[in-house]
A and B are shown apart, each in its own frame.
Chain A
Amino acid sequence: MENAAYVGLSRQMTLRRELDVVANNIANADTNGFKVEQLLVGSEVGERARNAFVRPGVSFVLDNGVGRDFSAGALSQTGRSLDFAIEGDGAFFKVQDGNGEAYTRDGAFTLDPTGRLTTKQGQAVLGEAGEIVLDTTLGEISVGADGTITQDDQVVGRLAVVRFESLGALEKGGDGLYRNASNAAATEAPEAQIRQGMLEGSNVNPILEITNLIEIQRAYESVTRMIENTNDLSRRSVERLGRVS
């Protein structure tokens, strides 16, 4: 009897978590390089009580994981020479900070006082031969599609662009960074193309997210109603049975 309420509760809990994920998507609708996420839910078969041969077991709802859509966001022109976008899904810039290597799709870089190419948070952007240091007494830099950086016709480095066998192994670290949570090392991504003076927006589809929002709310309401009805049922049965005896 109580199972209906517990099944409803399991759905309520996943719906709340789904709302958290959708809220994060919408909050980051304007974040460069952000990848949209979705909570994956599945059914979890509960233990059967007595009468196991007669009735099927009860299935609860359980969140299995968060799926990320790594498709590219829209590219927009910024006109800044230190803005880069990667054309090609699933490829990342490589950066380094105190916690080791991290990966990002947000290519809005800057220079520190020593001329080192860094992210907004000051993490060094890695090239093929380690950190990239520019001589800013020379002119503007220009970066080719393969990541080669030239300054006044001299090649000064090459941006490293990497990809992963399994994108699911990446863990989000905030600040637009991903960290490698698996043992599989990143490999070079020669097919990815770098676009200078452009940035990749988030791939959040606002219409889809608002629709998700409505769906979550309605589902939550109907599950809550179901729990109410179950409560009602048990209250009435206790009342009536009490009257007979």
Chain B
Amino acid sequence: MRALRTAASGMAAQQLNVEVISNNIANMNTVGYKRQRAEFQDLLYQNVERMGAQSSTQGTVVPTGIQIGAGVKAGAVYRVTEQGTPSNTGGMYDMAIDGRGYFQILMPSGETAFTRAGNFAINGEGQLVTDDGYAVQPNITIPQDAIDVQISKSGQVQVFTQGSTTPAVVGQLELATFFNDAGLEAIGDNLLLETAASGAANVGTPGEVGFGEILHKFTESSNVDAVSEISALIIAQRAYEMNSKVITTADQMLSVASQVKS
């Protein structure tokens, strides 16, 4: 019975939906996290009777035909790259990107990863690094005698030292943008990698056309909306239940049929 398998595909799809939603809710307070959304598509159709086929020698044609669908599949799980709310943290090395772009991070493997999470810190050598100690590219080193750091909207890092009234520029932050943000591969730890689908990174200065601006002492909150996630969870659960009802019905019909021969 096809209905059993069709309903099973529906339950599998809703299970994936719940997995995506639960990951969104779990990451509600993750800096720079972009919510994901599962998208579904119908499976292939079996043509029992083709539309447009001749139904008589008089040239009449079947107007609608009979196509029976085989269920549903996951089409894609998207990252929705909507801007998250910047929240004022006051952290000396916290940065949020207002607009498009990613910070570039040098991984221990030598690869470059990309992130929207700008909750940076400095390591023992004064180098600007992520939570995990990976260096931000291009390298920025804060001198030991710095008493205050200012980062401009265009990403210029200025340092005030004891006794000096004019700030010294110690570095310039750069951002990377992609043709297709949704094509970046997430590798955990808030990091993303370039893929063939995302296109090559296009590096530029913050504030240029097509690049976002840096907000110093802010971090970008996740763009997960609790209310819409919970309502999506309710919809997914009900859809799951309805598919299980189809399985029950198909099963009972089969049992009725098998009881004829008793």
Among A23, A65, A67, A138, max chain B CB count under 10 A is at A23
Question: Interface majority SS on A: helix, strand, loop or mixed?
Answer: mixed
Q: Is the CB of B9 within 8 A of A27?
A: yes
Measured in the bound complex, the distance between the Cα atoms of B196 and A66 in whole Å is 41
Q: Is B168 an interface residue (CB 8 A)?
A: no
Q: Is the CB of B66 within 8 A of A24?
A: no
Residues of A near B235 (CB, < 8 A) are 30
Question: Interface majority SS on B: helix, strand, loop or mixed?
Answer: mixed
Of A39, A166, A175, which is within 8 A of B75 by CB?
Answer: A175
Of A23, A112, A166, which is within 8 A of B250 by CB?
Answer: A23
**Residue interface mask B32-54, A partner, CB < 8 A = 1:** 00000101111111011111100
Residues of B near A28 (CB, < 8 A) are 10, 40, 42, 69, 71-72
Q: Is A48 an interface residue (CB 8 A)?
A: no
Q: Is the CB of A175 within 8 A of B42?
A: yes
B interface bracket (residues with beta carbon within 8 Å of A): 35 or more
Tell me how far the C-beta of B135 lies from the nearest C-beta in chain A, rounded to whole angstroms.
27
Q: Which of B110-118, B121-129, B153-161, B252-260 contacts A (4 or more CB under 8 A)?
A: B252-260
Q: Is the CB of B69 within 8 A of A40?
A: no
Q: Is the CB of B72 within 8 A of A27?
A: yes
Residues of B near A209 (CB, < 8 A) are 242
Q: Which residue in chain A gives the minimum CB-CB distance to B236?
A: A30
Return 29 A-B CB contacts under 8 Å, by A number: A12-B257, A19-B246, A19-B249, A23-B2, A23-B3, A24-B71, A27-B13, A28-B42, A32-B40, A66-B67, A79-B80, A108-B76, A110-B76, A110-B180, A111-B182, A113-B198, A113-B199, A114-B179, A115-B180, A136-B179, A137-B202, A166-B63, A171-B67, A172-B69, A174-B69, A181-B65, A182-B52, A220-B253, A224-B256
Q: Besides A19-B246, A181-B65, 8 other CB < 8 A contacts? A: A16-B253, A20-B68, A30-B40, A40-B64, A106-B41, A120-B41, A166-B63, A169-B52
User: What is the interface of chain B, defined by CB distance below 8 A to chain A?
Assistant: 1-4, 6-7, 9-10, 13-14, 17, 37, 39-45, 47-52, 62-72, 75-76, 78, 80-82, 100, 177-180, 182-183, 196-199, 202, 209-210, 235-236, 238-239, 242-243, 245-246, 249-250, 252-253, 256-257, 259-260
